[in-house]
Structure formats: structure tokens, C-alpha cells
Amino acid sequence: METTYKMEVIDDNILNFRKPNRNLYMVVWQRLANSGIHYVWAKDEHEALVIAGYSPEFVLHTVVKISPLDMPVCAGVQK
């Protein structure tokens, strides 16, 4: 038996505004106690880190450029 989930593009959870000169970035952050992911519209990796990141002195970041055609989708229980 196959289970079907309602899936939606999480456009409302993306930081900043979509404009022609901006790309979509995923900013993954990790520190000792916890970690998380932010999605942000930015001109480059540095701007994405400034908008969505935390102090690099205390938090490790990975910034990944992703295609707007492959927008993130959300499925499951929203907390």
C-alpha cells in the first residue's frame, strides 16, 4: 500500500525577496547544541550568509546555491 502526502512549495518560508538578480540559497548551520536550515534569496553566498547566518565564530555554515526550478517542498507535520 502506497501512502500519499500533501506536498507544498515552502515559498513563504524563504527569507528576503525574489528579484531577477537574486539566486536561491540553502544555508545549513550547525553548532554544538543544535542545527537548522534557512532558505534565502541573495546575490551570492556571502549575502546569503549575512542574511540567514549566525556568527561564524560560534556556528559552522554550509551555503548551497539551488535552482529556483527545484523549489523546496514541505511534507509532513508542521510544528
**Boundaries of every domain in the chain:** 9-67
- Checking if the pLDDT of 79 tops 60, the result is no
d(CA 71, CA 5) in angstroms, rounded, equals 17
Contact (CB, 8 A) for 15 and 40: yes
- Checking if the pLDDT of 24 tops 90, the result is yes
Spell out the residues 6+ positions from residue 21 whose beta carbon is closer than 8 angstroms to its own. 43
Per-chain mean pLDDT for the chain = 86
- pLDDT for res 30: 94
